[in-house]
Structure 1
Amino acid sequence: MNNFNFKIPQEIICGQDSILKLPEILKKQQLKKVMIISGPNLNKMGVVKKITDILSCEGIEFVTFVEIEANPSVETVDLATKAFLASEADSIIALGGGSPIDVAKAVGVLAKYGGSITEYEGADKVPGTIIPMIVIPTTAGTGSEVTAFSVITDRKRNYKLTVFSYELIPAYAILDPNLVMTSPVKTAAACGIDALVHAIEAYLSKAASPFSDAMAEKAMELIGKNIRLFVADRQNEKAAENMLYGSMFAGIAFAWARLGNVHAMAHPLGGYFDVPHGVANAILLPVVLEYNALADEGRYEKIYHYIKNNKGTDNFIPEILVAEIRKLTKALGIPENLTTVGVTEDLIPAMAIDAMKSGNIAINPRITTQKDIEELYQRAL
């Protein structure tokens, strides 16, 4: 067993209407003015207004930056940082899925330490604590509210850079199931599979520990029992709650065990072809699981039982899990291959080079070369 360490340096508030505790959290930290970082769709849907109404009722000053796109860019981070500094706010509320949360983390770094987010690419380059932040997820998928990562697209390189530092973990997260119940069906499906991939890759990682295993197993249990129900009906309160909590547990798992080939390969798909992250993960998952089956030490069967919701399978082989994942993604309406989302063969070598730069390759359960990555992209086409 690997030596391991962990900590949970956050306060996480869960439950229906838990966003009403937001003013209490801000006052507890003696924060006077907050910037809300979110996206245009959430703004149009009135989700941002829900937060601003709560703040207004308590006389808390706020400003908003609601221009965060999918696969957010270095330029967007720069714009949001300038807006934050000009506003003289002292804190950030990140409202949304992974994109607004990733930008908020990056702004939290740059507003305090300056420079470009590209200067912090890699591990442990953030010198200390960042701007105080409260994260409110509106999707059950990314787990970004509990992770130490910020992923930002560098358009100049067609590359998704990753900033990794435990300083990025927000001090507070509010998990209110009411907010994820507004998810469109495609978002619910893609984000739900994204959360499942987080749990599976953390569970199979060479860096897994008893702590991360416990988080991953609970995540797979909650997601396996609820993802179909939630995608079928986002107004199913219990399914929404369980998906949100499952996503959070999966986030904690991969914050400490990291991920694998699926995520290493998914980021270039976003950088070169703007494929939504959850969709990229969902398409790649069965392909990578099939490749990693050679290294399975019995965990594929456990994963299968969480997804299938049964307790026993005679004569289990890893291919049974692969087939079940394909069946699940098809039922949820996920595209079956990369060709259907606009990916072309000519950029596979370039994407493979970028994928190999990911630290996730080193902890994938099966040793992987650049040639292997190219072949896996070919299979996924």
Structure 2
Amino acid sequence: MPFSYGLEKLEPAFDDRPVPYIAYGGRFHELAATHLNQTLAAERVFIIASTSLSTNTEALSRLEAAIKDKCPEVKLVGTHVGIPPHTPWDTVVEITNKARAALSDKPISDRDILITLGGGSLTDGAKLIAWMLANPDIKTSADLETMYSASEGYSTDQFKPPAVRVISIPTTLSGGEFQSIAGATRSDGSGQKCLFTPPTRNPSLVILDPDLTTTTPSKVYLSTGVRAIDHCVETLCSLDSNPKGDEAAERGLKKMVSGLLHTKEHGNDLDARFDSMLGVIDAMSAVGSGVPLGASHAIGHQLGPLGVGHGETSCIMLPAVCKWNAIQKANIERQAICRDVLIQIAEVRDLMQKSGKSLEDTDLGDVLDLIIRALGMPRTLKDVGVGRDKLEGLAKNTLTDQWAKTNAKPITEKEQVIEILEMVVE
């Protein structure tokens, strides 16, 4: 889809969900100021910004200046720079208490806004922080345990829903800005990543600016795009798939794969970047259709806290999980459908021709491997510094993840996880 600045638009991201809205066609800081004034009638703003963006670019200063210059009725009450990868619990608690203090002069309302400027760890943090702000008794990591326990049992009615609204300005393609679920990693040394399920409210607005994403290191940007491909593949390959999810996943795959491969070769092509950003919405529409995910996400959630990038987990695990499921004969027909979608993409056919691979001898895992290698992404645990000594703990934590049980071949034993991990050790 051609992208142009100067044609500003505001529209729902999805046709079946009230949030988020997306805004695009303008510079991110100008769009933020416009919608703080006109759309959200904001009174107070707290910013959570990426360390790299704040240190290496003028993005944060441009955002702060736009709010101060163009939003005379809005008070910028605070800014926090940095959330470590995979959103540690202790950091979430720290920022919550900082924001709570900054907003303490009067009761929190829906005219109070958290703005995230950066990647998925910030977005996850803000969704959880907004929920915690509505519940004053949640002040420590121990208190946060009660929210997680309730989320595990899908019984969160004892907690007040978020009042604060979140504006997300993403610089990656991981897609967390399009759902309310938030992932955060325990700070107790276990390395366990936990999924929290706040009520569906945030993010309320997502601002898409493809030029801003050029500040993201190519490796990070492209790998998070593979994360969105993972969303599409695992929904399309699910035995609980549905037509709505299938259609969205197919659309997302075509936009994401083509957009990412083109961005790899032409990094400043804003059309390709914008296509990928729209592909993320399709991917999250597929996830939001009610289709459960699988073992790539389950293992990836727990691999991340070992120091592996959010998107890199999918680069390593997705082809292996597809191969393992095929060996188990768990979802052969669904995988064939997904493979056929991918080989319709012109760039994928070119890759296959250059590699000398024939359609008859190429399964879904092979096609995904070809795409991920073309993007220059890591393909083994060794590539990202994870050795055999980590496999036992990784497998144990994976069994606690909800998507392990909804894999096409349910993952219920540690040995099953080890089998998959052995496929990508080195």
TM-score, structure 2 length as denominator? 0.81
1:97 aligns with 2:124: no
Cα distance, 1:307 vs structure 2: 5.2
Computed over aligned residues only, the root mean square deviation of the Cα atoms, in angstroms, reads 2.4
Matching residue of 2:180: 148
Selected match of 2:404 from 347, 361, 366: 361
Alignment map for 1:158-197 (pairs within 5 Å): 158-167=191-200, 169-197=202-230
Q: Is the 8 A contact 2:251 2:279 kept in 1?
A: yes
* Comparing 148-157 and 111-120, the one that deviates more: 111-120
Q: Is the 8 A contact 1:180 1:244 kept in 2?
A: no
Matching residue of 1:13: 22
1:62-103 CA-to-partner distances (Å, cap 9, x unmatched) read: 221112111220110011101101111722012211100011
Q: Is the 8 A contact 1:12 1:172 kept in 2?
A: yes
What is the distance in 1 between the residues matched to 2:307 and 2:79? 26
Cα distance, 1:104 vs structure 2: 0.5
Q: Is the 8 A contact 2:20 2:178 kept in 1?
A: no
Matching residue of 1:118: 145
What is the distance in 2 between the residues matched to 1:169 and 1:258? 21
Matching residue of 1:299: 337
Identity %: 23
Aligned AA for 2:270?
E
Matching residue of 2:101: 86
1:310-334 CA-to-partner distances (Å, cap 9, x unmatched) read: 79x9985584332222222222221
* Comparing 119-128 and 259-268, the one that deviates more: 119-128
Question: SS of the counterpart of 2:211?
Answer: helix
Change (3 A) 1:281 1:307: farther
Aligned AA for 2:309?
P
1:376 aligns with 2:420: yes
Question: SS of the counterpart of 1:198?
Answer: helix
What is the distance in 2 between the residues matched to 1:68 and 1:310? 36
Task: Give ranges in structure 1 of 5+ residues lacking alignment.
Answer: 1-5
Cα distance, 1:380 vs structure 2: 1.3
TM-score, structure 1 length as denominator? 0.90
Matching residue of 1:33: 44
Q: Is the 8 A contact 2:220 2:309 kept in 1?
A: no
Alignment map for 1:326-341 (pairs within 5 Å): 326-341=369-384
Question: SS of the counterpart of 2:200?
Answer: helix
Change (3 A) 1:303 1:291: farther
Change (3 A) 1:209 1:166: farther
1:202 aligns with 2:239: no
Q: How many residues align?
A: 374
Aligned AA for 1:106?
L
* Comparing 195-204 and 341-350, the one that deviates more: 341-350
Aligned AA for 1:192?
G
1:352 aligns with 2:363: no
Selected match of 1:270 from 304, 313, 330: 304
1:166-204 CA-to-partner distances (Å, cap 9, x unmatched) read: 425422222222221222111122111111111111222
* Structure number, greater radius of gyration: 2
Question: SS of the counterpart of 1:333?
Answer: coil
